Each structure stands twice: as C-alpha cells, then as structure tokens.
Structure 1
Amino acid sequence: MSGLRGLVAPFVVPGPSGMAVRTRLKQLTTTDVEVLRQVGAHLGALASRDLKARCRDGLGHDAVAWAGRKRELTPLSSARWAGAITKASNDQWALARRSAHAHLQSLDAGVRTLRHRLSLPIGENGSKHASGGYRSRREWHAKARRLHVLEDRLARARAEWAAGRVHVVRGGKRLARLRHQLPDVGLTEAGWRERREAARWFVQADGESGKRFGNETIRISPGGEVSLRLPGPLAHLANAAHGRYVLTARIRFAHRGQEWADRVAANRAVAYRIHHDTMRGRWYVTASWQKPVTHTVPLAAALAEGVIGVDMNADHLAAWRLDLHGNPVGHPRRFAYDLIGSADHRDAQVRHALTQLLHWATSHGVKAIAVEDLDFTAEKTREKHGHRKQFRQLISGMPTSRLRTRLASMADRTGITVIAVDPAYTSRWGAQHWQKPLTTSTRRTTRHDAASIAVGRRAQGFPIRRRTAPPRTHQSDGRGHRTIQADRKALGREGPRPRIPGPRTRSVPPDTARTRATRTPNTVRGARSEQGWVQDSLLLTE
C-alpha cells in the first residue's frame, strides 16, 4: 500500500439550503413592458455605479461604507431598492473574489507543473503520480516560454489579490466579448446591444418576513397578481396607491406552487427577480426562498437498506445495487445523457437521468445513493495533459458540480440520502476485483459497472477487494453468513492462491519416475541403451 494517498472517510451530503422556481409573465400590455424596461434600465444604471464604488473600496469596505452607499442611492430609488442594489453589489464582489482565488491557485499549479517537467530530461517517462519530461526539444522550448508568461500572470494575480482588486463585467464577460464576433454567431449590432442592455437591467429584491406576502418591493399575491414599488424618479408611472404599479399579467408557479403559496400566505420572506429573454422575447419572474436546515441522517441509518453505487462518466451514469454485506444484487443499470447542445438541454438531460436513478432506487426500497466526490480542477490543466486535448475536453465536459447539486436537491424530496466517497482508485480496483468475476456468457460487465460496486462498498465501509476464502465449516454457514467480509489486516486471504508445482488432482497422470518400468522405450530400434533397466521400489507388491 506504499505510495497510495490516504482516503477521506465517506460522509452524508447535506440537503439544499434554498429553492428557486421560475414562471413566465404572460399577456403583458405595451404599457407593462415599457414600465418594466424603464425600471430595469434606471435601477441597472444605479447598480453599475454602486458596483464600481464597491470594487473601488476593495478590502477597506466595512459597514460604514455600506451605509454610505445606501444613503447615496436612496434619493434616486427608495430605501428598499437601495438595500437590494447594495447587497447585490456585495455578493457580486464576493463572487469575483472567490473566482480570483481559484484563478490564482490554477496559475500556481500550472507554474509548479511546468517547472517540474522542464527540470526533467527530454523524453523521460512519467509515473502515475507525476508527469514526465517533454517529448522533444521544440516542445521543451515552447513550454519554457509559456512558463515565463504564466509567471508574469501569477505575479499580477498575487498583486491584485493582495490589493483586493477584482474584475467584474455586469451582464457577463462572454456577452461583452461577443461584440467582436457578431458575424460568426449571426447577430447584428442592434441585436447584441439589446441583449447586453437586458442583461444589465436590475429588477430584483430580497424578501422580508412579516411584510405583506413576504416582499414589500416586488409583491406577488397568492392569486398571482404582480406589483412592484416604483423608484422615486419613476413614481409618475404608478397605477396604484403608494407609488406601486400593478401588472395586468397573472402568474402561476407550476413547480412547487403549493409550497410557494403557503409561504406567501404566511407572509414569509420570498425573493423575486424579473428578467427579459431577448432571444425568445419573453419576460420571466423567478421566486426563491431559504429552506430550514435538513437534519442529516446518520450514515449507518442511511445504509440500513443497502446502497446504490453510482459511477459518473461523460455520457452516462453506471449504477449497481448492493446489499447490506456489500454484494452486488441483480443487474447493473445505465442512465445515459447527452451533453451536446444548449445549457438548458444539458441541464434537462442531467435531470432526466437523475430522475430515472431515483425512481429505480425508490422501487427497490434503497435509501442511500453513493457517488464520488469528484474534483477535476487539477486534472484539466493543459500543463499536465497538454498533448492529450481530447482527454482534457472529456474531463471538462463532465458535469460534476451540476450533477452533485441536482442530485442533492432531487434526492431530498424523495427521502434518499446521498453519500459522497473518495474517488481514489475506484475504477482501477473495481475493474481488478469485480469486472471479471461478474462477467458471464449472458452479461458483459464493463469497467464502469465494476467502479460503481467499488463506490458503493467504500460508502459501506468495506474494502473494495472481494473475499475469496470459504467458511471454515465444510462449505456451510456453521460459522456465520458466508458474505461476512474478511478482516482488513488479513491481506493473505484476499490474494490469489499461490502456484504450487506438480500435479494438483488425481486426474493428472503420475510423473515419469513412477511409469518408467511400464513405459514403452523411446530408443532407436537396434541400438542398445546405455542405462540399464531400473526397478522402482514403489511398484513392488507384497
């Protein structure tokens, strides 16, 4: 076991802490659309100004600075709109700060990898734990130049991190860069500008418990009536009392609608966001709220009915059900998904595969699903797998974070516990110990199926290797159930039987020494053998 890294103990994944549902705003009049556009543009300009101020404060920002920003925005909007804008700016700065830290770690890992590979002789082979030298002098020279580039980027990133500077683009960096590629994506400048302006609008407000319907700024009644508090400069557009505008559209949440209605009727906090999809020409409203902390089920209680081990791959989920003793039951299952297309299509594919997995677990009464706690942050770098572009693209395309988030959220409603295990060596050891024994003439066990068994057994606390020693009492259950696992320290019981020279069964013919007396001589006819006839003492009879 030397040279292998330590394994992290399996743990129960906590359930979701919040919920978000979305529906469409239908049957909007021209006046409604115009009011929403003016409100979004006005508040979006204030949000851009406030985000700039927040980024300028950097690490020196405190509660006093936050209160000063709110005072500046209140006359231009309202106290509630100012609070929503400043909080959104703080959240955006914190997100950019975390992204800068991740970028700093990525650059540092790339520099260390390049330095290590450049220090090795050209053509030296790598190992399982470290990359080898570069293949040619030309590649070595190109990587040496890239090392200087990354070192410069790393120095700038460290300086910006120490100073608290972040880089944020309201509306998204991808959309901003799309301005220089309009002919390639089939967009006009007017269409691009419309998308950019809509992405920079700001019509969102956090909820507050105790207020009417849980939100005083954007209010939605249980009957679906939508109204919003207009900013001060746009108060002349109000069509209701207290400077409010009521939309003609009525909304209804199809997903978790009853849960939302219960919160609204109890005046519990609900946050809303109204946004415009320029590609479809539709308006949407998103409602979100926090959920109470779900009590985590103990690991032993979750595994009381067995477990389903899941191995995640680029195009499917390989799953196998295990009993209480870690033995595979039934046949393996595969839940495929297609990750080619738009983001909505990919997300729908993942949700469909997880729905099938949860339905299968529910039908067998299993209350636990074991998955790998995958993190490919270090594996996707071009410095480690530079020439293996397809391999890097394969890893980058695996929806690890999306699948974990979706599975935890969907399993919480079905009462199924999600257990995360260390992914180290599951594919290798699973194929080594389980792929061949479970392959029959009518079933072909793949490497991914064997890995799912390894994931499930690791969640149960069992070693991945199979128990090969029979019970001590003549092939019966006199000493306990046959599926009792071997002790972890009894490694000799788990290995293959040693090769013993010579015959093993009585069906093997006896050796040469015993048949020399009755064997037909192999000498040439007419020639005399140099060795005389020898009588074997074992053949003498009384």
Structure 2
Amino acid sequence: MLLELVVDELAWLEASIRTIAHRLSLPVGERGSKRAPGGYRTRQEWFAKTRRLHLLEERLAVERADRESGRVRVVRGGKKTARNRHNLTAAQLTEAEWRQRWEASRWFLQADGESGKRFGNETIRVTPDGEVSIKLPAPLAHLANAPNGRYVFASRVRFHHRGAEWADRVLSNRAIAYRVHYDVGRSRWYLTASWTIPPVKTVPLPEARKDGLIGVDTNADHLAAWRLDEHGNPRGEPRRFFFDLDGPASYRDAQVRHTLIRLLHWAVRRGLSIAIEDLDFAAEKTREKHGRRKRFRKLISGMPISKLRARLVSMAAELGITIVAVDPAYTSVWGAQHWQKPLTSKTRKTTRHDAASVAIGRRALGHRIRRRTAPPPAHQSDGPGHRTAQAGGGTPGREGTRPRIPGPRTRSTGTGCGANAGDQDAQHRWEHPAELVQLMLSL
C-alpha cells in the first residue's frame, strides 16, 4: 500500500513537470489543441510557472531519493488527524478525545487473502459460522489460545451485506481480504471483508442492442437516463437519479451505491443494457492543464467518475446487465443541439443532460446523433408537415432507391433517374461514413 502511494506521487510529479515544461516552451498566448494545452496567457503567469517548475523538480528529486533509500513519508492515521492536534479548538476536540482518535486510527490489522488456503485467508481466518482467528507472529506465539499459534476471538461476526456471496467464497476456499479496525464514535470493533469480482463475460454488441438500451449521462450531482428503442427513438419519460456528495466518505459511498442500485433495478425491470460514457478525468483535472478555470476543475474533481464506473461494472455483473461504453466526444453539445428542443413539450422540460443521454444511447446503438432533416413541404410524399421521426431499419421505402416509372417523359432526363437515390453518402450526408467508423472504433 505504501509503495503504491509513492508510485502515484512520482507519477503525478512527472506528469505535472511535463505539462509545465511543454507550456513554457510555447509562445505566450498561443492557443492549444484538443490533445495538448497551449501557452500561458501572460508573461506574469509564465514567470510564476517557471518558479513552480523548479519547486516540482526539487520535490521529484526528494521523492526519488526517498524511494531509493526505502524511506516512506506517510502519517499513520492521516495528516488531518495529526494537524488537528495543533488546533483542537477548531476541531472541537479535547486532548483526550484527540488522543483516542489518533490511537484508534492506528489500531488496525489487515491481510490479503489467497485462493487455495483454508477459508480463503491464512492470516485472518473467518469460518462460515463466524469464528475469527489470527495467526500470531513468532514473537507473540506465547499468547496463542488455539493450536498452531493462532488466537481465537471471543466474539463471532456476521455479514449482513452480501453474506451469501461471502459464505460461498469461504466454503470454496477463494481469496478474501479482511480488515479489523476500531470505530471511535460507536466504541466498537469492526471486521470488513473484500474480494475481487472475476472478469465479466463479454456480450456481442448486436445482442446488447437487440431491444434497445438505456443511455446514461454522468453529471456532478445526478445521472440522467432515457430509454431508447432499437431504432434510436426515445421512449417514455426521462429519469434522473440524484446523489449528494457533501459529507464524509462513508456517506458519499452510500449515495453512489444507492443511486446505482435505482438505475440498475430500472434496467432489470426493462430487461435492457446500459450505455454510458467512457470518461476518465485522471489526467484532466490538474491545474497545470486547465490553468485559471477553477470552477471547471472543481466541477470535474467532484464527479465520482472512477467510483461510479467501478461500482457500476461490478454491480451490473452481479445482476447480469450489459454495460456499453461509448466515446464521450460532443455528446452534450450535439444532444442539446439536435434533441433538447424536439423533446421539450408543454408537460415536459428536457434538459441538456437528458438530451445528452439520448445522444449517448444513439451512439451506442450505432446511429448518428444528428436527427434527420425534414424535406421541404413540396417534396414530402405524405403531405406538408415535419417528417423527422427515426424510422425503423425494416421499414419499406425508408431510404431505398426510387423505382423507375415507365412511360413517356416530359423533361430531358435520361433513363434510370433516381438510381443513386439510396446512396446517402453521395448526397447531403457527408459526415455519415466518418462518424460510423468513429462509432465502431470507439465501441
């Protein structure tokens, strides 16, 4: 665990140094591209970033030296608890209360499991009936109260959440990791179990698209979802699943879990797959890339993308729901441009996020996000009026070649006119082939 923290710190420092060095090498005021940021806006900002570059390089040198010497600068119990000791009034704690929390945060025992070992873990072993025992190290072997140098706890444990899954893994001797920790607020010891979900069986894309799917747009405070049929037409009303991320980590985790449960249960009742954007803000929310856009950095930093994605995949695997990840490029912009106004009525107010969920679903189904353009009234075979509904793939005459009408012709038009009417790529839809290729590559 400590080694992973050091590696993450080194990777962050190296990425920040590369970004600053790249932007410093560009002229002041030069605009960036989608793949690389541009130069700094002013000379003052350019000068300030040169100083920051030197500071980051010094920190990187110190971190590398500590790694080579085997020294890890980590506070057991957390830096926040350590800093509260210097300002107990602001933390609303007495010295005794702080000391209790400080010691409790350092009182924990954890051990990773190993498949093939008895009950899935040799160090911390929990039997199916809830008996907990710990393998003591050699210096503490005299404290054992059970054979083979083990110490058996007097109390038994019981798992209320996913207890059946835990019991299945224990009986089959599959790996389970355990952690024993003390909760100061409740004055109680807890034991948590965790395990890795096996890889999910992939489903062919046509099978996932068979009956349509649910497009989901991820936002900072809610998930916007809309059901689409196999032709890309929105059905029913949009759904919004809200969550609140203001609070402690346990509260935020519960909010994300409950939101996904509501979404997945809705998908289970409809028997549909879920389409979601393949977002990754790991390298996009640093101030080195977005500079002064503090509001935007705060927005994307507050979005629990990685937690939502990991939980959604694992929970969907348990329920047998297929997840389709699509390219997130321009889904919000094109969704608002092409779908927000047509889907808004007197009784329904469609937001940009609802329209983005439609765009995501259409992209997952292989359809274009843009809607069909209505022809002029004089050229509509079904009379004046709009004809922008997305027709099904098997509808006769949808976009087929116009039949040749026999008989004399009054205009100087050669025989076989309209032979290329079904070739939509050769007409006004210039973006159709490139977009389809992009969709298939992104999927």
CA contact (8 A) 2:28 2:39 kept: no
Correspondence for 1:474 among 339, 357, 381:
381
Task: Give the aligned partner of residue 513 of structure 1.
Answer: none
Are positions 1:375 and 2:280 aligned together?
yes
2: CA distance, partners of 1:337 / 1:302? 28
Q: Alpha-carbon deviation of 1:431? A: 0.9
* 2:28 corresponds to which of 119, 137, 146: 119
Q: How does 1:507-522 map to 2 (within 5 A)?
A: none
Kindly indicate whether residue 123 of structure 2 is the aligned counterpart of residue 224 of structure 1: no
Give unmatched runs, 5+ long, in structure 1.
Answer: 1-90, 496-542
| Matched position secondary structure for 1:380 | coil
Judged with a 3 Å threshold, the aligned counterparts in structure 2 of structure 1 residues 494 and 323 are, in CA distance, closer, same or farther, namely: farther
SS across alignment from 1:219: strand
Whether contact under 8 Å (1:310, 1:455) holds in the other structure is yes
Q: What CA distance in whole angstroms lies between the structure 2 residues aligned with 1:253 and 1:481?
A: 54
Which residues of structure 2 form unaligned runs of 5+? 400-421, 432-443
How far is the alpha carbon of 1:387 from its aligned partner?
3.8
Alpha-carbon separation, structure 2, partners of 1:162 and 1:249: 46
Q: Give the corresponding residue for 1:492.
A: 428
Q: Which piece of structure 1 moves more, 352-361 or 102-111?
A: 102-111
Residues 328/385 of structure 1: CA separation in 2 closer, same or farther (3 Å cut): same
Deviation at 1:179, TM superposition (A): 4.1
Q: Which residue of 1 aligns with 2:139?
A: 233
Whether the 8 Å contact between 1:318 and 1:448 is mirrored in structure 2 is yes
Is 2:13–2:56's contact at 8 Å kept on the other side of the alignment? no
The correspondence for 1:437, drawn from 342, 364, 370, is 342
Specify the structure having the higher radius of gyration (Cα): 1
Letter in 2 for 1:421: V
Partner of 2:220: 314
Counterpart pick for 1:153 among 56, 59, 74? 56
Contact 2:131 2:157 in 1 (8 A): yes
CA drift of 1:191 comes to 3.8
Instruction: Output the amino acid matched with 1:299.
Output: L
User: What is the CA distance between 1:178 and its match in structure 2?
Assistant: 4.3
1:405 partner SS: helix
Distance between the aligned counterparts of 2:87 and 2:277, measured in 1? 39
Which residue, 310, 313, 319 being the options, matches 1:408? 313
Offset, 1:302: 1.6
Q: What does residue 17 of structure 2 align with?
A: 107
In structure 2, the partner of 1:514 is none
Provide, for residues 303-324 of structure 1, a one-character-per-residue CA deviation record: whole Å limited to 9, x for no partner: 2121111111111111111111
Which residue of structure 2 aligns with residue 187 of structure 1? 93
Instruction: Tell me which residue corresponds to 2:368.
Output: 463
Question: Which residue is 2:189 aligned to?
Answer: 283
Number of corresponding residues: 396
Check whether the contact 2:227–2:236 (CA below 8 A) recurs between aligned residues: yes
CA shift, 1:343, in A, is 1.2
Aligned to 1:398: 303
Question: Percent identity over the alignment?
Answer: 57
Quick check: 2:24–2:39 contact (8 Å CA) kept in 1? no
* C-alpha distance in structure 1 between counterparts of 2:242 and 2:423, whole Å: 37
Q: For each residue in 1:243-279, what CA deviation from the matched residue of structure 2 results, as whole angstroms up to 9, or x when unmatched?
A: 3222121111112212222222333333322112234
1 or 2 for the larger relative contact order (CA 8 Å, sep ≥6)?
1
The answer as to 2:245 corresponding to 1:339 is yes
Per-residue deviation at 1:353?
1.4
Tell me if 1:420 matches 2:356: no
Over aligned residues, Cα RMSD in angstroms?
3.4
User: In the TM superposition, what are the counterparts of 1:17-96 in structure 2 within 5 Å?
Assistant: 91-96=1-6
Partner amino acid, structure 2, of 1:97? V
What is the distance in 1 between the residues matched to 2:168 and 2:111?
A: 20
Quote the residue 2:172 is aligned against: 266
Distance 1:97 1:468, change over 3 A: same
**Range 264-273 or range 475-484, more displaced:** 475-484
* CA distance in 1 between partners of 2:290 and 2:115 (Å): 52
TM-score w.r.t. the length of structure 2 is 0.78
Deviation at 1:96, TM superposition (A): 2.4
Shift of 1:217: 2.4
Q: Output the CA distance in 1 between the equivalents of 2:314 and 2:84.
A: 33
Amino acid at match of 1:157: L
SS at match of 1:435: coil
Which of the residues 149, 153, 156 maps onto 1:243? 149
TM normalised by structure 1 equals: 0.65
